Structure 1
Amino acid sequence: MSERDHPFDLRLVPSVAACWGATLVGLLAGWRPAAVSAIVSAAVGAVLALLVWRRRRAGPSVVLGIGVGVVAAALLGAGFAAAVAVRAHAVETHPLAALTAGGGSATLVVELDDDPKMLRGKSFGGERQLMLRASLQEVRTDRTVLRAGGSILVFAEGEQWAGLLPGQRVTLRGRLAEPERRDLTVAVVRATGSPQHVAEPPAIQRWAGVVRDRLASAAGSALPADQAGLLPGLVVGDTSGLAQETKDEFTAAGLTHLTAVSGANVSIVLGAVLLVVRGVGLGPRTGALLAGIALVAFVVIARPSPSVLRAAAMGCVALLALVTGRRKQAIPALAASVVVLLALSPSLAVDFGFALSVFATAGLVVVSPALVARLRARGWPRWLAEMCAVALAAFVVTAPLVAAMSGTVSIVSIVANVLVAPAVAPITVVGAATAVLAVVWLPAAALLVRVAGPPLWWLLEVADRAAAVPGGNLAVRNGLGGAVIVAVGIAVAVLAARHPWSRRMLLAVAVGVAAVWVPTRFHQPGWPASGWALVACDVGQGDGLVLSAGGRRAVVVDAGPEPGPMDRCLRRLGIDEIPLLVVTHLHADHYGGLDAVLHGRSVGAVAIGPASLPEGGFRFVSAAASRADVPLVRLAAGRQLTVGAVRITVLGPLLPEPRTPAAAEDGANDASLVLMAETAAGRLLLTGDVEEDGQRALLRSKIPLRADVLKVPHHGSRTTSPEFLDAVRPRVALVSVGADNTFGHPNPGILQRLAALGAVTVRTDRDGDVAVARSGSGALAVVGHSRGNIVR
């Protein structure tokens, strides 16, 4: 059989499925089911191996080959299940397990695995919050010192953390918590203070840090700010200088994959190296050696993210094939890279980015060539056929995964990716050359990087225009249900496109759906909902609430973590007068957008609670009010206010005011102002981030907490007590939460409790801005702006 007749070698695919499935069982179900799975798989593999051995001469060679593949898959799966069972057992019995369950504190010695990642918005004392992945080395408590390993996730704030490099060993003090995700993470640590006893990073990481810094310096000195921030992201995955607005536009346009270094970057870099090698007349083995060196250097500089590791592993397999003279086949290379990476890092099995990378590559290998052939047969030029086929193939295979992960499907991403495709390779090559040159001659690198200016401008322009398309992202159900819906839709479209009559029928259905959907999606004449009383603005991971006071007036409760989202929400509502702006407590995810709310609007007063800690938060709020020439006032329990049609009673805080920074860190959430607002839509309980201690104080006070609408405390975290929810018993529960947040909000148990109470739960991460109103019949209505549907 010729290669043309059998283009794909799929023999390793069953083994990949078995290894991935076995790893998932261990991670999600625990070590006991994984151990059982290992025993069962080994037994099945042994039985099948015996049957294949006995029939090795009797059956056809194809059947024998299939049998051998199944045996290999079963035995590999057994090995992976056993390995992950051992690791999962080590996590469950880790010395930190008891401390995390009780929320205790400890001093830890850790070694960083990756660069600190800046999180969206500010937190705690008004500083940027960072996330660090690290390997545990030592645990110190008041009673003992333990040598222990394991992966931990650290959340910290302060510039001292931002400059750390992978491989550095540091000592930190922090509060421990159980991890939300089951990915072999031992604990989540909320670091207090600065890193201590910071060791020097390894020489290779110092070198990589210099390369990244020099690339950023060269770009910053020669390009506009938006282009300078984007270039390092496209070349080495460094998005630290990328503006949040640009990140949002790339997400909406379906272009985020460009800033997550993947196989495309690796292929472009290796292709450029091999092209130079061929140009100077070097042999294939020397070329492979130089390409391998370039590959290792690129991975070190770009940092080993899941997509980079997958691409690097596939590149190694391809280089090995080049050296040995064997034919390169992409599917075996991809399958081998997946197996190796899962063996080295089982947590990749639950990493959406890794899954997207694998599926996208498989789609490009399997689907793209067939699409190119079809388009070429219709007379398309090769360059255009290849660009469109690559974008369409990537969309077809990854859209179900994206829907499962985010609950959205971008309908502009195909066009956007086709438009930016010609710009990606020049940017990557020029950027890589700039990074190398910047190490030895920064002025020359700054001159070279200007060549990347026009393609960078084009990429930013496409992202901006695509993100501005109304309804460019379709909201679907997230999780397995959304993935199935999208997969079925794509399958129907693909099957229909194969026949002329079905294409016409599909076109007619699409036109009919568009005729109904477009007006409701794009125009939304009902926003804000008629007679609205409360809007929970989609501000990301934070709170931003608006209480209608009649006309263009409103009381604002919290301002979100950043200026843009809250300002846009108020503009959509037409609010230009704010008699009272309340900051429930001094954490930045509640006051970060304060300046934007104060700018260009008439504000009567900014109100805070009794506490002045955390100090950084108090300084920020005070300075913002002073700049806007708005008085800063304090509210305390028992205060009553009437603003237009809204009557507000301050129910809390009832706990003693924190007096020290340490007490403020522990009790700032329980220092939240808790407000009961009586409106035309009923009683609305606004709770800030009050946690269990503060909730118990409210329950002990015997204050009537029953409300029609509850703003669920602390973004739906598990720190809300069942007794508190029982006392409120809301008809509607609003969860103000950011999409794909790292805190695991909202907690599934809280959502289940609310459902058991009969509450309709709406979430800003899924429904966008959410309005509460009274319908014409007097019924309570909740309208999600992003979806335009009445929930109740």
Structure 2
Amino acid sequence: MPAIPPTGQDARPTAPADGATSSGTDVRLVLPALAVWGTAALTLGAAVAVIWSLAVVAVAGGAVLLVRGRRAGRLTAGTLLVCVAASAAGVGVRVTAVRSGPVRDLARHGERAVVDAVITSDPVERRRPGRVTFVVRARAEAVVVNGRRVPARAKAVAWDGRRAEARAQPVARDGRRVHPRAGPVAQDGRRERVRAGPVAWDGRRSLARAEPVAREGRRVRVRVPVLLLATDARWARTGPSVRVRLAGRFTEPRGGDLTAAVVIVRGPPTVLRGPSPPQRFAGTIRSRLRAAVARLPPDQRGILPAMVVGDVSGLDPRLAADFRTAGLTHLLVVSGANLAIVIGAVLALCRLAGLGRRVAPVLAAGAVLLFVLVARPEPSVLRATVMGMVGLVALLGGRGRQGLPALGAAVILLVLLDPSLGRSAGFALSVLATAGLLVLAPAWRDRLRRRLPAPIADAVAVAAAAEAAVAPVLVLMSGELGVLSVAANLLAAPAVAPATLLGAMAALTAPIALPIARLIVVPAGFAVGWVAFVARTTARLPHASIPWPDGLAGAASLVAAMAAGVLVIRSPRLRVAAAGIAAGLLPGVILLRLVSPGWPPPGWRMVACDVGQGDALALAAGPSRAVVIDAGPDPRAVDGCLDRLGIKDVPLLVITHPHADHIDGIPGVRAGRTTHLLLTTPRDPGRTARLTGRLATTRAMPGQIWRIGNLTLTVLAPTSADPPLLPSDDGTTINNASVVLLARSPDFSALLPGDIEEDAQHALAPAIPPVDVLKVPHHGSRSQDRTFLAAARARLALISVGRDNDYGHPAPTTMNLLRDLHVRTYRTDREGDIAIARANSGLVEVSRR
């Protein structure tokens, strides 16, 4: 647990120094840090001319105020302007570098080139329907331009050593359009192959139009960051400091980050140089740690490397989602808390060994450097290192007031060195969490110690202060407020330090003695097992997180609500008023809870399971029975949804089309349940059968009717079994092969169109009857046909979509279209599991969150 800086130990009856508050908190570097940080955030997306103009104006104004100013206010304003100028200049230098030069020029024209690059981060694997993409950050160091198209003019040829002109070769004079050729010419010391366009013969002369010229390859040295998107699995074996050569198509990046281009890479990397010795050492430590934890249960072997060295390669995505819901994501990355634990352990050992105050900081710093090396010196790790060193400065200085200046200096240094941190959510979370520990935690700890034992007061103060500090940023990004995160952090806290320290010991031991490391990770596994249990249990509790407006408005409203809460706590009169209001509302809340349905709600007809970026639907077919439409991407997610519904029997499992986000969860549907029959698209090439074993399978045909209990299913599409799908078919072709179903019961109807896109929707629109509920096709993508959606005349629409997905689903255009059609829309990324139930007033939506 991070140490809370002491308060009150050095209190003396003297006047505060300039920039220090009466409580002893030194805030002199807070405003400069905010000026540097805010300037970087605001100027990253601005035009280069605007950025440099701001730098010039700010430095001129700051110089005037500093030279002429004698008052404290002028000196402060001058200092702030100088900070603004320095930050703007830093951004200007970086932005100028990435927005100019051959790499950005290639991106503007969407051209292909060969690149020599040094990888700067571990490849991140992102699974999409039908394929896996590896996202790799790299630094381009050389570009070999090959076949670049440039403008050319066709004239009579003459080479005079200064300019190049091309002349079309003789053409046939028959009045037809022909393609003449121009021979190679020399220009700027390079050979240019010039090709003239079609010409027309009018009986007197040739009219030629020059087309772009293909420039032969030349090597250009560069040094700019690029983002690589690759599909070849061999990219997963690369890592930081590896120098590779690749061929790809350059595109312009989106947003205001400092990336020169996004390179779409189709083939494997050609490794020119292996990892550097430090990175090779770090890779060895990581691989041996993975070998040491290989015999632990799945959750434990995924979490322990993540907690110790930030290695998330073995982490279950659903478990990571549970950590996010529970507010424990910071435990899965290298953070200042990790460093605080390591530093604390080293200092404790030094104290036990009787080492002096001069030796202990040196050993602690050495431990930090070793930790950074093993965790890999990536930007996020270096950021966490600086934040951890801030706490070390405050702790070793013996005075809590030294922590805030150290934090301010860290922010200034980091943002000036890397202006992209100005818009980094991770950086904001690190800074705010550290600030919460330095500013809020000491006072809260002192108040809590009046009523609680000191260890409990410290733990509550740390968790509450950090959570309060970062809550606005979390709301800004996710639109959710974790109401149980403080409790989850308190429950997990006792296990974090043992897991981190034992894991670090195992990581250092594994390269030398793997059997001993395997013994060390056993108690560490128990610790991380407890953390995993806390995360899963908290995430499954009702209302573990509640919806909150996202964006700046949501963050501002949360800050206002927190400020109001502080006022209520501080004012006795407001506390009495708030208690009275709460007492009046409590009976109503209890009554509402008593009469509101539980889960699943009685009379439910249909449930859209929250399975992330995928589809999984359940249609009630009797007690403990349901027809399941698609299985989502993750067996555990759909299994949990069906467990919560109490489903034990699945008379029919329908897989609309063979994409991973619909079929990979099939084992979860069958886990502990009886599944009788599988229905697939007639164009399925057999991919689904590989996940279903010997399960009886039939193919859907148009007009087929299935009656299960009081539920009737009618197949509307596809209209033909031809042509069968091929592995080379694109995503749209496979989506349009989806089984489209019409579900009806005596008091309910729904249209379930799988992932069909705009063309298939338009063709099917005349056959669509009015229904109560529409499952929006293809997760609400922009490929929607208005006539199809309007033909359904649904009152309710469900969108099964994953939070923070890479596709931008649901598309704003689709949401606007549904709004124009007066359809009430519900989304699994915000509502969780969504049930449609029959009530006295008609069909109602009940969400599990």
TM interval, short-chain normalised: 0.7 to 0.9
**Aligned with 1:112 (options 111, 116, 119):** 119
Matching residue of 1:632: 697
Partner amino acid, structure 2, of 1:53: V
**Aligned with 2:780 (options 687, 710, 716):** 716
Matching residue of 2:26: 9
Q: Which structure 2 residues correspond to residues 569-584 of structure 1 after superposition, within 5 A?
A: 569-584=641-656
| Residue pair 1:168, 1:200 contacting (<8 A) in 2 also | yes
**Aligned with 2:413 (options 316, 331, 340):** 340
Matching residue of 2:309: 236
Q: CA 1:641–1:766 in 2, change beyond 3 Å: closer, same or farther?
A: same
Matching residue of 1:568: 640
| Residue pair 1:109, 1:170 contacting (<8 A) in 2 also | yes
| Residue pair 1:288, 1:322 contacting (<8 A) in 2 also | no
Matching residue of 1:154: 229
| Residue pair 1:529, 1:773 contacting (<8 A) in 2 also | yes
Query: Once the two structures are superposed, what CA deviation does each residue of 1:581-618 show, in whole Å capped at 9, x if it has no partner?
Result: 221221211111112213444434212224445xxxx4
Task: Show structure 2 runs of 5+ residues with no match.
Answer: 1-14, 149-216
Deviation at 1:287, TM superposition (A): 5.4
Matching residue of 1:213: 287
Alpha-carbon distance in 2 for matches of 1:143, 1:721: 40
Alpha-carbon distance in 2 for matches of 1:545, 1:300: 47
Task: Show structure 1 runs of 5+ residues with no match.
Answer: 787-792
Partner amino acid, structure 1, of 2:411: V
> Which shifted more, 140-149 or 424-433?
140-149
> Which shifted more, 557-566 or 313-322?
313-322
User: What SS is found at the alignment partner of 2:766?
Assistant: coil
| Residue pair 1:19, 1:80 contacting (<8 A) in 2 also | no
Matching residue of 2:762: 699
| Residue pair 2:107, 2:251 contacting (<8 A) in 1 also | no
| Residue pair 2:736, 2:755 contacting (<8 A) in 1 also | yes
Matching residue of 1:661: 727
Q: CA 1:110–1:48 in 2, change beyond 3 Å: closer, same or farther?
A: closer
Query: Once the two structures are superposed, what CA deviation does each residue of 1:446-469 show, in whole Å capped at 9, x if it has no partner?
Result: 344445355445434544554454
Q: CA 1:95–1:649 in 2, change beyond 3 Å: closer, same or farther?
A: farther
Say whether residues 1:257 and 2:257 are aligned partners: no
Say whether residues 1:247 and 2:320 are aligned partners: yes
Matching residue of 1:671: 737
Q: CA 1:598–1:359 in 2, change beyond 3 Å: closer, same or farther?
A: same
| Residue pair 1:165, 1:206 contacting (<8 A) in 2 also | no
Q: Which structure 2 residues correspond to residues 776-787 of structure 1 after superposition, within 5 A?
A: 776-778=840-842, 781-786=844-849
Alpha-carbon distance in 1 for matches of 2:317, 2:73: 55
Alpha-carbon distance in 2 for matches of 1:685, 1:196: 49
Higher helix share: 1
**Aligned with 1:435 (options 484, 498, 507):** 507
Partner amino acid, structure 1, of 2:696: P
Matching residue of 2:690: 623
Deviation at 1:652, TM superposition (A): 3.3
Alpha-carbon distance in 1 for matches of 2:293, 2:507: 10
User: What SS is found at the alignment partner of 1:150?
Assistant: strand
Deviation at 1:207, TM superposition (A): 1.0
Q: Which structure 2 residues correspond to residues 212-361 of structure 1 after superposition, within 5 A?
A: 212-221=286-295, 224-244=297-317, 246-276=319-349, 290-304=363-377, 307-314=380-387, 329-361=402-434
Matching residue of 2:675: 603
User: What SS is found at the alignment partner of 1:372?
Assistant: helix
Q: CA 1:775–1:454 in 2, change beyond 3 Å: closer, same or farther?
A: closer
Matching residue of 1:491: 563
Deviation at 1:363, TM superposition (A): 0.7
Matching residue of 1:544: 616
Alpha-carbon distance in 1 for matches of 2:585, 2:572: 20
Deviation at 1:759, TM superposition (A): 3.0
User: What SS is found at the alignment partner of 2:653?
Assistant: strand
Say whether residues 1:54 and 2:71 are aligned partners: no
Alpha-carbon distance in 2 for matches of 1:232, 1:72: 43
Partner amino acid, structure 1, of 2:691: A
Partner amino acid, structure 2, of 1:785: R
Q: CA 1:12–1:535 in 2, change beyond 3 Å: closer, same or farther?
A: same
Q: CA 1:233–1:674 in 2, change beyond 3 Å: closer, same or farther?
A: same
Matching residue of 2:81: 71
Query: Once the two structures are superposed, what CA deviation does each residue of 1:744-789 show, in whole Å capped at 9, x if it has no partner?
Result: 33233432343344332211010112234565445x5433232xxx
Alpha-carbon distance in 2 for matches of 1:352, 1:264: 17
Alpha-carbon distance in 1 for matches of 2:721, 2:94: 46
| Residue pair 2:117, 2:140 contacting (<8 A) in 1 also | yes
Alpha-carbon distance in 1 for matches of 2:650, 2:738: 21
Relative to the length of structure 2, the TM-score reads: 0.78
**Aligned with 2:658 (options 578, 583, 586):** 586
User: What SS is found at the alignment partner of 1:31?
Assistant: coil
Say whether residues 1:746 and 2:810 are aligned partners: yes
Q: Which structure 2 residues correspond to residues 453-468 of structure 1 after superposition, within 5 A?
A: 455-468=527-540
Alpha-carbon distance in 2 for matches of 1:40, 1:267: 39
| Residue pair 2:703, 2:714 contacting (<8 A) in 1 also | no
Matching residue of 1:20: 37
Matching residue of 1:761: 825
User: What SS is found at the alignment partner of 1:231?
Assistant: helix
Alpha-carbon distance in 2 for matches of 1:132, 1:515: 55
Deviation at 1:368, TM superposition (A): 1.0
Q: CA 1:182–1:539 in 2, change beyond 3 Å: closer, same or farther?
A: farther
Q: CA 1:305–1:386 in 2, change beyond 3 Å: closer, same or farther?
A: farther
Query: Once the two structures are superposed, what CA deviation does each residue of 1:230-278 show, in whole Å capped at 9, x if it has no partner?
Result: 3222222223334455434433432221222211111222343455556
Alpha-carbon distance in 2 for matches of 1:157, 1:681: 50
Matching residue of 1:398: 470
Alpha-carbon distance in 2 for matches of 1:191, 1:406: 31
Alpha-carbon distance in 2 for matches of 1:702, 1:141: 49
Matching residue of 1:409: 481
Q: Which structure 2 residues correspond to residues 415-564 of structure 1 after superposition, within 5 A?
A: 415-452=487-524, 455-510=527-582, 513=585, 515-517=587-589, 524-525=596-597, 527-529=599-601, 532-549=604-621, 552-564=624-636
| Residue pair 2:59, 2:82 contacting (<8 A) in 1 also | yes
| Residue pair 2:436, 2:466 contacting (<8 A) in 1 also | yes
* Count of residues paired in the alignment: 759
Alpha-carbon distance in 2 for matches of 1:409, 1:342: 28
> Which shifted more, 173-182 or 347-356?
173-182
Matching residue of 2:239: 165
Q: CA 1:721–1:143 in 2, change beyond 3 Å: closer, same or farther?
A: farther
Alpha-carbon distance in 2 for matches of 1:739, 1:201: 35
Point out the structure with max Rg over C-alpha: 2
Relative to the length of structure 1, the TM-score reads: 0.83
User: What SS is found at the alignment partner of 2:607?
Assistant: strand
Query: Once the two structures are superposed, what CA deviation does each residue of 1:368-393 show, in whole Å capped at 9, x if it has no partner?
Result: 111122234x2644333322211111
| Residue pair 1:635, 1:650 contacting (<8 A) in 2 also | no
Matching residue of 1:790: none
Query: Once the two structures are superposed, what CA deviation does each residue of 1:677-701 show, in whole Å capped at 9, x if it has no partner?
Result: 456677644333334xxx2244256
| Residue pair 2:340, 2:392 contacting (<8 A) in 1 also | no
Partner amino acid, structure 2, of 1:632: T
Matching residue of 1:386: 458
| Residue pair 2:119, 2:137 contacting (<8 A) in 1 also | yes
Query: Once the two structures are superposed, what CA deviation does each residue of 1:492-548 show, in whole Å capped at 9, x if it has no partner?
Result: 222222234433443454455555446756985265456544322111111112234
> Which shifted more, 763-772 or 250-259?
250-259
Query: Once the two structures are superposed, what CA deviation does each residue of 1:67-98 show, in whole Å capped at 9, x if it has no partner?
Result: 23332333234325534643674599934545
Query: Once the two structures are superposed, what CA deviation does each residue of 1:392-425 show, in whole Å capped at 9, x if it has no partner?
Result: 1112111222222223323322233233334333
Q: CA 1:669–1:45 in 2, change beyond 3 Å: closer, same or farther?
A: same
Say whether residues 1:31 and 2:46 are aligned partners: yes
